[in-house]
Structure 1
Amino acid sequence: MGKILTLVYTARNDDYSPDFIQRLETTLNLNVENILNLKLQNQIEIIIIDWGSEFKKRLSKKIFLNKKNKIVNIHYVSPKVSKNYSNKWPNFFNESAAYNLGIKKAKSKFVLYTQHDSFFSKSGFYNLISLLNNKYEVKNFEENLYYIPTKFLNINFYKKSPSLDSINYHIEKHDHTFHKIKPSSFNVTSGQGAILLSKKNWIKLSGFREKWNRFSIDTDLFFRSSRLFKKVNTLYFGINVYTLSRSNLKEKLTKRIEKIIKYPRHNSISSNDNFYKENKILKINNNFQTKFERISNFNKIKKLRINLNKKMYEKLNTKDVARNFAKNNLNYKNKKVDIFQIFLILKWIDISDTINMIEVGNMNCDKILKIVSQDNPYLNLFSFNKNSQDEIFFKSYFELMMEKIKKNHNGYVRNVFSEDKNDYNNLINDIPFDQFNTILNINFDSLKSKKELRYFEDLIKNKKNMINIIIFENNLYSNLSESFKKKIDFKKIFQKKKYTIYINKKIYKKFQNFFKISLYERLSLLSYFYSYKIKYFLKNLI
């Protein structure tokens, strides 16, 4: 039995994007892992057309695949040949010719076109193969054009460098997207989404137009294919691709810098003399610059970008924390929640690789998790509280609050009320632990016996390489056993009356000066907090 599906990617390793190799590696390894897990290696192949990379930088030497396999095939086209086919194309990259070569090389019945940073989940591959084997009984299924919509991974989640298992967990546990997917939309502009056709229909369509025109290649394909084939949206079969998001902060800062230096944006080749004169400001080549090249050229004004970033971070962070605190009707010195504690947690989440937060025994953790969720909707939030008859009201209230968090939260949220260790073990086993990706917040009031205390000591010992910081509330650390304190690899980094923060010793040097709240930050937090408090109070009166 031959292959049924070929995924075609085109790429060139010319440093047009700083994390290009990493993004391509992530895409390929995710696809390969999901294919192997579903045992579909005999039905699916992946073809990459390396269009004009320098011989020393060719992708076959730079891409690292976690598992050796025959699924991925890289076809190299030399710079000399690629330039002959890309004379009028921006950056000498004729994507149409590259994709057409991939389609010709395909040995399968169906060929899928998408971008190099788009991949399928396990369920996506499973549903896609079911569709191609006609298990859904679609009429004339080989003659249709299938449009596959895209969903974007949260950029703040992706920048934490999660493992492949964490990404799969993130996808399978919840649905996340920045925009609604319209079933009636079939235009795959700006590289969003994918198109699937049988190979014979790609040949009938003559593939992509290799002569450069003002339309993007996917827009041109859409106009031509809509006359020949019936269009089917695969979202109805539970099929979509996931795309690794790019940072919008870089784009915002880029726009600011462009205004300052009067650097023009060009979407097509320009022979305007003013374009070349203005290029001299940055001393760049007079050749046509792609969007990616323009961004990389801003390294020449890196200091300006960093300063803008710092100012933006300081203002927005204190302002957002204060606004959310006031919005949730919390006093800045609430008995259970401290605004400075929340600020440190949010600041730490922003700068570290944190994707999990575990709350244990904190009767006010619904408020903490609510504020954390508003700022970081991609996090996995877990809470564990004891279930007792005296806390029936609290349990119902807490579950109601957690349900509200789930409605607006993209990440996985799970709370457990129990005194059974097995329930807690199930909760811990459900958490996707990576290295230093978890915050643990434990309240001493909930651990009334030494037996319970020893249990959490064992948890910290077993997961010490996964936990980055531990927040001990109500001086829990002083109650821990001396033998545990000697073996534990955590160091005290911040202390107040109500809570103490310990950081993993393996990352202590890197962040030893981080847990300090400057006078400017303190004053900013309090001034913003009271201004928002007054604002919400007056709003409620009206």
Structure 2
Amino acid sequence: MGDPMWRLATSINYVSEHIFELNREVQVEIVVCDWGSETPINQVIVLTKRAASITRFVHVNPQLAQELQKDSPFGEVYALNVAARRSEGLYIGRIDQDTLVTAGFLGRFFDAFDKGSNPGFDMQNSYMFAARKQLPYSFVKQKPSIEQLDQCIKKYSKWIISEELRFCHWASPVGILMMHRDIWDDIGGYDERLIYYWFMDVDLATRLIKKYPIVNIGKVFGYEFFHLEHISNGFRFRHSHRKLNPAWSKSFDKPVLNPNGTDWGLNTHDLDTTSALSYQVLTSEDSKKFSGVMLVSKILMGTIRRWSYYQIKHVWYLIKILRRKPYL
């Protein structure tokens, strides 16, 4: 699906620039779980000097990864838990490897945190979720620079519709989900039995919903999370060949808050933690120029396609998620 190392580096470099611009580099860290790579990611990725200084890579060797994920091609719940468990901040936010986090979100979040202002909810005791927006594949595939991505978001973000599921916003494609580290520890992160595809975020919410309120921070801090789209399929429905997680993962009737126990996130394992080996100085690049009219066209067509897709998907998903399944 294109160049995953470019998407990862771009996401890290992008948010790092904004972190430094806001003088928050001593308060923010980026933790990447490198799940099962034969050649560790930190040896091949090229970050900016700023990004490299605040980013850590936690490597899970291929043998251990294969043992835990069994017949699944990727043990995502383990990888997410490994990164969360080894984070050091008060708040831990989970994003995909190819999601751009803007200065707008960072500024509003820290403003509420620093001033102790009341954003309308208790940040320390809430599950915070925001759906993502999508930068169209036709634009992303040309590998725009950090500057071009930032200009695109600033100029055209109002034209991009959030992929939020209206009836159940926390089941939407994840822009970010955040919790105080005490909540992560209380619930044990993601259910590590869900080694297959889909529903792990839904399961997370349906486990904690009886104890912690779920807050749509997209409405509070803005929909400031932009996914670098990497699938081009027109109006066709997407289909994955991967085995789905069991239906009980969508159930609201979960009697166990923390199914993993105290050692969630491979806490008893001694994992290698390293920094990126290569970095560059970010400069104003002489990359190809994008026509404003052409870019607007790409944004609008991508938005229409995604909106149409999700209107149908959301109705189907709502029916599925509201069907009560027995919890195992």
Same fold (TM over 0.5): yes
Please give the residue correspondences for 1:333-344 in structure 2 after superposition, counting only pairs within 5 Å. Answer: none
TM-score, normalised relative to structure 2: 0.69
Say if 1:145 and 1:197, in contact at 8 Å, map to a contact too. yes
Query: Where does 1:310-329 land on structure 2 (aligned, <5 Å)?
Result: none
Aligned: 1:128 with 2:109:
yes
Partner of 1:193: 175
Counterpart for residue 94 of structure 2: 113
Equivalent residue for 1:268, pick from 218, 222, 243: 243
Higher-RCO chain (CA-CA 8 Å, sequence separation at least 6): 2
CA contact (8 A) 2:32 2:83 kept: yes
Which residue pairs with 1:277 in the alignment? none
State the shift of 1:112 in Å. Answer: 0.7
Aligned-partner SS, 2:190: coil
Report deviation, 1:26. Answer: 0.8
Correspondence for 1:210: 192
Which residues of structure 1 form unaligned runs of 5+? 1-16, 256-263, 270-351, 358-368, 380-407, 409-542
- Relative to structure 1, is the Cα distance of residues 50 and 178 closer, same or farther in structure 2, using a 3 angstrom cutoff? same
Indicate the SS of the match to 1:40.
coil
Provide the aligned length of Structure 1 versus Structure 2. Answer: 255
Matched residue, 1:161: 143
Bigger mean CA deviation after superposition, 223-232 or 134-143: 134-143
Say if 1:160 and 1:355, in contact at 8 Å, map to a contact too: no
Instruction: Give 1:246 deviation, angstroms.
Output: 2.1
**Per-residue CA distance 1:9-58 (angstroms, 9 max, x = gap):** xxxxxxxx43111111111110111111111101111000101100xx21
- Distance in 1 between the 2:83 and 2:162 partners? 30
Identity across aligned pairs (percent)?
A: 19
Change (3 A) 1:373 1:42: closer
User: What is the TM-score when the length of structure 1 is the normalising length?
Assistant: 0.43
User: Conserved in 2, the CA contact under 8 Å of 1:156 and 1:378?
Assistant: no
Identify which of 24, 30, 33 aligns with 1:40.
24
Aligned-pair distance for 1:229?
0.8
How big is each residue's C-alpha offset from its partner over 1:473-505, in whole Å with a ceiling of 9 and x where there is no partner?
xxxxxxxxxxxxxxxxxxxxxxxxxxxxxxxxx
Largest Rg, 1 or 2? 1
Contact (CA 8 Å) 1:160, 1:354: kept in 2 or not? no
Q: Which residue of 2 aligns with 1:78?
A: 61
Say if 1:50 and 1:77, in contact at 8 Å, map to a contact too: yes
List per-residue Cα deviations over 1:282-336 (Å, max 9, x = no partner).
Answer: xxxxxxxxxxxxxxxxxxxxxxxxxxxxxxxxxxxxxxxxxxxxxxxxxxxxxxx
Tell me how far apart the structure 2 counterparts of residues 84 and 180 of structure 1 sit (CA, whole Å): 35
Shift of 1:137: 4.5
Shift of 1:373: 7.8
- Residue from 59, 70, 73 that aligns with 2:41: 59
1:218 shift after superposition: 0.9
Name whichever structure is richer in helix by fraction: 1
Displacement after TM superposition at 1:127 (Å): 1.3
Is 2:9 the counterpart of 1:28?
Answer: no
Alignment correspondent of 2:216: 233
Q: Secondary structure at the residue paired with 2:48? A: coil
Following the alignment from structure 1 to structure 2, what is the Cα–Cα distance between the partners of residues 266 and 166? Answer: 34
Question: Residue 213 and residue 376 in structure 1: after superposition, are their counterparts in 2 closer, same or farther (change >3 A)?
Answer: closer
Where do residues 465-504 of structure 1 align in structure 2 (5 Å cutoff)? none
Q: How far 1:73 sits from its partner (Å)?
A: 0.6
1:62-104 superposed Cα distances (whole Å, 9 cap, x missing partner): 110122443111111110111222114x21x211112111121
1:355 partnered with 2:290:
yes
